[in-house]
Structures are given as structure tokens and as C-alpha cells.
Amino acid sequence: MAYRQVVWVGIGVLAYALFLWGMRTVLPALALIWGLRFSGTVPLPIGGETLSMAGGWAVDRWFSHAAPPGRPCVVVVHGLTPDGKDDPRLKDFARALAWSGLDVYVPHVPALAEFRFDPRVVPQMKRLFQEVESRCPTWALIGISVGAGPALRALESAPSWPRLRAVATVGAYADACRLMAVGLIGERLYGWDTASVRQAARYALEGWGRTHGWSEEMIRHQVERLLACRSVEEVDAWCRQAPPDFQAVLRELSPIAHTSRPWNVPTWILHSPSDPAIPIEESRRLAQALRSPTVRFVEVPVLTHVETDASQGRTWWAWKSLWSATWGFYRALN
């Protein structure tokens, strides 16, 4: 009889442990997937406030009033979007994360909102991460699209992040020069409309040159040469021959150029095989460059670039890879 009681007590303890584990991993992961799938139609009762952090960046903090104290935090860095942290897609994503029980910090990064090449983003982003680490018991990073590049650079520029538990990127890039090449010649490679990207590249190069002492003749020459490129190889050659200060910018904003240290943080690199903005090969190169057993490259067909695709998401198995990565992310965070 005593033996049976011990067995039943053991089973009860195990069941309770599994229940607590599910509350901290399975249910939050399901909540996030549900929020992503129905973000435009399901009301999510979430609180929010705007903070000033990292020396002046406006940062939206999203949270659930029902979540317990001491909950993990996640920083979400947006990509190239003129709305920055106020992009409606990003707000839906942040609210879904908060609904799943996380404190969510979404900074407005002026350089990314203005489509500017600015290496000063990296140290300022590092400062933001330090402030989040001082506020939160544990935290994670999600880098969206082009924003993942400087975010990863900021992580690697620090010797350690003792409270960082997980990293995820969605539609990321590995090399800034290759990213620029894709944007400039995407019409030839993929049939994309590249007019806005070419205009942004022109403005970025002109702005950099004028604030760093280039002559007008030099600016005109570099812009003409860059916009005349018709292949990835020609853009690569332009990058190698660009003025040294601009080469340094491209290197500073390229995660693939700074992978000498061991990468020991559980990391999920997500990318859609049909991404219309950044080719999936960029995320593959990034995963290979990090060369770590903690890094997982995940193809997510339910995504377009960084949005869920309603036509792809009609069947449950289309969400399988995203669910697997989300569940793993929550397990690492908890």
C-alpha cells in the first residue's frame, strides 16, 4: 500500500510539473500562433506605454495585465519601414507576443525608418539591450528583416549577455553589400519593382558622402557607378572599390563579417522560401557563418517576407515549422 501511495504521489508531482511546463511553454506558444493567425480580427486586451531609452529612442512597451510578475522580456527590432515601431504589422505582432505572456519592447530606430546606412545604430542598440537586461529577469531578441543585421551586430559586440536566453530572426540578411545588390537588381533577378530601393540607395549614398566630406564630383561618380550595376558581381566589385569609409560601414552592418566568436545562444533563423524582398539564401549564409549547434535554420512557407500569408495558412500543416520554432523559442526563454 505504501508503495502504491508513493507511486501515485510521484505521478501527481510529475503531472503538476508537466502542467507548469505547459503553462510556460506550450500555452504561450499556442497563444502567439493564434495571435499571428487572427491578429487582424481578434481583440487582444493588452496594455502599452512609450518609454525613452538608449539615449533618446522612443520605445513602445507592450504587456498583458494578466501575465504574472517576473515574466520574460523580448526586444523586437523593426526593418526598413517608414513607420518604424508604428508599422501596423509590427504592432499586431507585438500585441500577440504580449498576449502570450511576454513584456515586449519595440524601439523606433530612426536610421531604419529613414532607409539610412548608419553604423551608429549598432552601439545605440547595444545600449538599449543593456537597459532591457537591467530591467528583466530574462530576455530574448527578435530581429525583423533588415533590422536583424544591426541587432545581431550589437549582440556580438558585447562580451556576454547573462540574461539573454533566445534569439530569432525573420527574413534576415547576412551581408550588407549583397543586400544592397538584391535591392538594386531585384528586377532582373526576381522581377521585383526596385524603383523605390534604387532611390533609397541614391539618397543614402548622397547623404553619407555629404556628411563625410566627399566632393560633389565623387558623390556623383559613386552613385552613377552603383546604379549602373547590372549583376551581383558588379555590385560586389563596386563595394570592394568604394571609398574606405563606406566600405567600413558595409562591413560594420554585415553580421557575416563578424562571426569569429562562438555563438552560444539558442537561435532560430526563419525565412520564407518565397520571400519577395530578401532571398532565403541570405539567411542560409547567416546560419552557416554562425556555425554553431545552437543555431537552427527554419524554412517557413506560411510567411511571405515578414507577414503570415493567409492563402498559405489555410491548412494546419503549413504552420508546422513556425509552431516548432515558436515552441523551441519559448522553451529556451523559460
CATH label of the domain that carries residue 295: 3.40.50.1820
Confidence of residue 117 (pLDDT cuts 50, 70, 90): confident
Side chain identity at residue 113, one-letter code: A
Q: What percent of the chain has pLDDT over 90?
A: 38
Residues 95 and 216 reside in one and the same domain: no
The pLDDT of residue 21 is: 40
Residue 51 burial by CB count (10 A; 0-12/13-18/19+): exposed, middle or buried? middle
Report d(CA 332, CA 214) in Å as an integer.
47
- DSSP for residue 308: B
The pLDDT of residue 160 is: 75
In the structure grid, which three cell numbers stand for residue 274, read together? 518565397
Residues 55 and 150 reside in one and the same domain: yes
Task: Encode pLDDT of 138-184 as tens digits.
Answer: 999 999 999 999 999 999 766 579 999 999 999 999 999 988 887 77
Choice between 151 and 203, residue whose per-residue pLDDT is larger: 151
The pLDDT of residue 144 is: 94
Choice between 134 and 81, residue whose per-residue pLDDT is larger: 134
Report d(CA 328, CA 268) in Å as an integer.
9
Per the structure, the complete domain to which residue 187 belongs is given by: 177-251
Choice between 195 and 35, residue whose per-residue pLDDT is larger: 195
Given a cut of 90, is residue 115 above it in pLDDT? no
Report d(CA 257, CA 242) in Å as an integer.
17
Residues 52 and 134 reside in one and the same domain: yes
Q: Is residue 220 a part of any domain in this protein?
A: yes
Given a cut of 60, is residue 1 above it in pLDDT? no
The mean per-residue pLDDT over the stretch 196-220 comes to: 84
- Show the CA angle centred on residue 82, arms to residues 308 and 238, nearest 5°: 95
Return the closest-CA partner of residue 268 out of 333, 177, 175: 333
Strands (E), the chain: 47-53, 57-63, 73-77, 103-107, 139-144, 164-170, 267-271, 295-299
Residues 168 and 306 reside in one and the same domain: yes
The pLDDT of residue 32 is: 62
Q: What percent of the chain has pLDDT over 70?
A: 79
In the structure grid, which three cell numbers stand for residue 175, read together? 551581408
Q: Is residue 48 a part of any domain in this protein?
A: yes
Residues 272 and 328 reside in one and the same domain: yes
The pLDDT of residue 10 is: 44
In this predicted structure, which of 32-46, 109-123, 320-334 has the lowest mean pLDDT? 32-46
The pLDDT of residue 168 is: 95
Q: Is residue 56 a part of any domain in this protein?
A: yes
Q: Is residue 14 a part of any domain in this protein?
A: no
In the structure grid, which three cell numbers stand for residue 173, read together? 540578411
The pLDDT of residue 93 is: 87
Choice between 322 and 200, residue whose per-residue pLDDT is larger: 322
Residues 124 and 80 reside in one and the same domain: yes
The mean per-residue pLDDT over the stretch 46-59 comes to: 93
Residues 189 and 311 reside in one and the same domain: no
Given a cut of 70, is residue 188 above it in pLDDT? no
Task: Encode pLDDT of 3-46 as tens digits.
Answer: 554 444 444 434 333 333 444 555 565 556 555 555 555 556 78
Residues 281 and 230 reside in one and the same domain: no
Residues 59 and 206 reside in one and the same domain: no
Given a cut of 60, is residue 131 above it in pLDDT? yes
SS (H, E, C) 128-184: HHHHHHHHCCCEEEEEEHHHHHHHHHHHHCCCCCCCEEEEEEECCCCCHHHHHHHHH
The number of domains in the chain is 2
Residues 145 and 287 reside in one and the same domain: yes
Place of cell 537588381: 185
pTM, rounded to two decimals: 0.84
> Average per-residue pLDDT in the chain?
82
In the structure grid, which three cell numbers stand for residue 244, read together? 574606405
Q: Which residues of 252-261 are buried (b: 16+ CB within 10 A; e: fewer)?
A: bbbbbbbbee
CB atoms near residue 129 (< 10 Å)? 24
The pLDDT of residue 310 is: 56
Query: 333 near 72, Cβ under 8 Å?
Result: yes
The pLDDT of residue 64 is: 87
